[in-house]
């Protein structure tokens, strides 16, 4: 069954929060939906994408384009809906939206322990690039 991938709407909050709790149980408090969603809506709100099936939010992706590279975050599919190809369709949809903005390349980070997700992105044409990921909290 194909689900319509569309930009997030305010009424989706409860469903997206539940999805993220299930998909990202170890996320730190600063990544909680209550903080991350309003922050995203202030920047490229059309690139926070969701899909619902029978009123339940079943998938999400938070894409962004900074004028140089595109990024993907919060790629999540409800456990009950996995391995049906909808995660792949979701990433491809976000890729099209980023490409339409002129984005030439997408980067993303995966925890080194998350081999399943590395395999998922590999299937979608993403390659492992020899980089060290660095970050600084502001």
Ligand X SMILES: CC(C)(COP(=O)(O)OP(=O)(O)OC[C@H]1O[C@@H](n2cnc3c(N)ncnc32)[C@H](O)[C@@H]1OP(=O)(O)O)[C@@H](O)C(=O)NCCC(=O)NCCS
Closest approach, Cβ 76 to ligand X, in A, equals 4
Task: Work out whether 84 is an interface residue with ligand X (CB under 6 A).
Answer: yes
Task: Work out whether 23 is an interface residue with ligand X (CB under 6 A).
Answer: yes
Are 62 and 74 within 8 A, CB to CB? Answer: yes
Q: Spell 66-86 as b/e; 16+ CB within 10 A means b.
A: eeeebbbbbbbbbeebbeeeb
Residue written as token pair 């660095």: 134
What would the DSSP string read from start to end of 75-105?
A: EEE-GGG-SSSHHHHHHHHHHHHHHHTT---
Closest approach, Cβ 89 to ligand X, in A, equals 7
Residue length of the chain: 138
Task: Work out whether 85 is an interface residue with ligand X (CB under 6 A).
Answer: yes
Task: Work out whether 82 is an interface residue with ligand X (CB under 6 A).
Answer: yes
Q: Which of residues 34-73 bind ligand X (CB under 6 A)?
A: none
Q: How far is CA 87 from the centre of its chain?
A: 9
Closest approach, Cβ 5 to ligand X, in A, equals 12
Stretch touching ligand X by CB under 6 A, among 9-17, 31-39, 62-70, 117-125: 117-125
Which residues contribute to the site for ligand X (CB under 6 A)?
23, 75-77, 82-88, 110, 114, 116-117, 119-120, 123
């Amino acid at each position: 069954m194909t689900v319509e991938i569309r930009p997030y709407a305010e009424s989706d909050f409860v469903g997206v929060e539940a999805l993220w709790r299930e998909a990202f149980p170890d996320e730190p408090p600063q990544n909680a939906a209550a903080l991350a969603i309003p922050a995203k809506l202030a920047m490229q709100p059309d690139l926070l994408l969701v899909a619902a099936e029978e009123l339940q939010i079943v998938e999400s992706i938070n894409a962004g384009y900074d004028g140089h590279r595109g990024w993907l975050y919060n790629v999540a599919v409800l456990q009950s809906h996995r391995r049906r190809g909808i995660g792949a369709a979701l990433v491809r949809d976000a890729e099209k939206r980023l490409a339409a903005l002129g984005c030439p390349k997408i980067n993303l980070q995966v925890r080194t322990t998350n081999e399943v997700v590395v395999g998922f992105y590999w299937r979608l044409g993403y390659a492992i690039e020899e980089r060290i990921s660095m970050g600084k909290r502001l």
